[in-house]
A and B are shown apart, each in its own frame.
Chain A
Amino acid sequence: MSSTEQGTSSAAPAEPTTAPESAAAPEVPESFYYVHGKDKVVHKVSAGALQHSALIHGMISNLGYTEEQAKANPFPFENIDGDILQMVVDWCNQHKGKPTPPEDTNLPKQKEKLFDLVLAVNYLEIKELLTYCCKQVAMMVKGKSPEEIREIWMIPTDAEDEAAEKEAKKRAGKEAAGETAAAAGDAK
């Protein structure tokens, strides 16, 4: 993992986003780590906030980085959009060292963002945030009829599922035939 690969790009701000200071400053200086998403914007996050993510927590435990090393090597999450990672970082900062409330009203209301957030949070293994997100997903269809649910959640009909299955079988058959032909060619 080189710093040139992981460092901030021209899209990145001069200084990384800083985590809000907690009211009671800890006696021992807190260590910070750096993460970036698809947009390469680097976010500075405290180790305390990152503890929410089992994935990052595991990475930190295994690496034993000094702050300088961590700054030079931000954790890259190329599969997560920048604005989604920003939401995740904000949530981790807001809930740093606090018991998680039963409801979280700060989650995105836009459905497509929520879907991306679920995928990101699932990847980063942030259990509490995942719980809120899944609850929010369920609330999207509260009181809706089966037809409305099918539309909101883009659920294919049985006929569409069958057609997709046939198509997949056909493709698999063609691929298998191609592999057999290639193997026969190699044998010759």
Chain B
Amino acid sequence: MPIRILFLPGKDLQYALNCMDIGDFIAFSLCSKRTRNLAKSSNRKIDSIIADVYQNFTCIEIRPSKVQRFQSDPNALFIYLHFSNPWIQLDRKNGIEVWRKQEFTQSDWIAHILSIFKGSVIEKLGISDVCPVSYLDNVQKIIPKCNKLEISEKCSAELTKRRF
């Protein structure tokens, strides 16, 4: 039998959210606007978000906070955004899952993730040598800001000279 989680006292609900691992927390935030706002207001902390761009997809690695006391899973979560698809794929140790959200583009996925982990930014954006130059516009669109840009030494001169 289901329970009405949103009927729990606010403090208890926030505590329950803090006990969730990152994947479950993101899943909760995607349920509705209300759950997204609850996730935002929980001030959930993470260690960092790293993005790596490959041939036709971007891999987002979300590393959990080392000081988060309650969460059940201390491992990083990997999310994959394919350039040609609006959905995301996740690896949560029980096979690859596909999550879709109506009208969500790749930019929306990134913006959503950044918004629920308060004050978070992409710590490092890595461009691998297999990333086609033609995809860079797309990358720039979905990840407009990052603290550190790392371009593989094997990347072409054209890609390396490209201004980010």
Q: Nearest-CB distance from A104 to chain B (Å)?
A: 13
Residues of B within 8 A of A142 (CB): 20-21, 24, 72
Q: Nearest-CB distance from B163 to chain A (Å)?
A: 37
Question: B92 at the A/B interface (Cβ < 8 Å)?
Answer: yes
The 8 A CB mask of B9-23 against A (1 = contact, 0 = none) is 101100111011101
CB-based A-B contact count at 8 angstroms: 105
Question: A151 at the A/B interface (Cβ < 8 Å)?
Answer: yes
Q: In the complex the two chains form, is B8's CB within 8 Å of A118's CB? A: yes
The 8 A CB mask of B146-160 against A (1 = contact, 0 = none) is 000000000000000
Q: In the complex the two chains form, is B16's CB within 8 Å of A143's CB? A: no
Q: In the complex, which residues 131-154 of chain A have their Cβ closer than 8 Å to any Cβ of chain B?
A: 131, 133-135, 137-146, 149-154
Partner of B94, one of A143, A149, A153: A143
Q: In the complex the two chains form, is B15's CB within 8 Å of A155's CB? A: no
Q: In the complex the two chains form, is A143's CB within 8 Å of B2's CB? A: no
Q: In the complex, which residues 83-135 of chain A have their Cβ closer than 8 Å to any Cβ of chain B?
A: 110-112, 114-115, 118-119, 122, 130-131, 133-135
A114 and B2 alpha carbons, distance in the complex (Å):
11
Q: In the complex the two chains form, is A151's CB within 8 Å of B2's CB? A: yes
Q: In the complex the two chains form, is B8's CB within 8 Å of A110's CB? A: no
Which B residue's beta carbon lies closest to that of A139? B72
Q: In the complex the two chains form, is B99's CB within 8 Å of A137's CB? A: no
Q: In the complex the two chains form, is B3's CB within 8 Å of A134's CB? A: no
The interface size of chain A toward B, counting residues with CB under 8 Å, comes to 34
Q: In the complex the two chains form, is A141's CB within 8 Å of B3's CB? A: no
A58 and B149 alpha carbons, distance in the complex (Å):
57
Question: A78 at the A/B interface (Cβ < 8 Å)?
Answer: no
A65 and B1 alpha carbons, distance in the complex (Å):
42
Q: In the complex the two chains form, is A138's CB within 8 Å of B19's CB? A: yes
Residues of B within 8 A of A155 (CB): 5-6, 31-32, 34-35
Question: B113 at the A/B interface (Cβ < 8 Å)?
Answer: no
CB contact under 8 A between A130 and B15, given known A122-B9, A146-B27, A149-B28: yes
CB contact under 8 A between A135 and B70, given known A118-B8, A141-B24: yes
Q: Nearest-CB distance from A105 to chain B (Å)?
A: 14
Question: A157 at the A/B interface (Cβ < 8 Å)?
Answer: yes
Question: A158 at the A/B interface (Cβ < 8 Å)?
Answer: yes
Most buried by B among A141, A153, A161: A153
Question: A173 at the A/B interface (Cβ < 8 Å)?
Answer: no
Question: A178 at the A/B interface (Cβ < 8 Å)?
Answer: no
Interface residues of A (CB under 8 A from B): 110-112, 114-115, 118-119, 122, 130-131, 133-135, 137-146, 149-158, 161
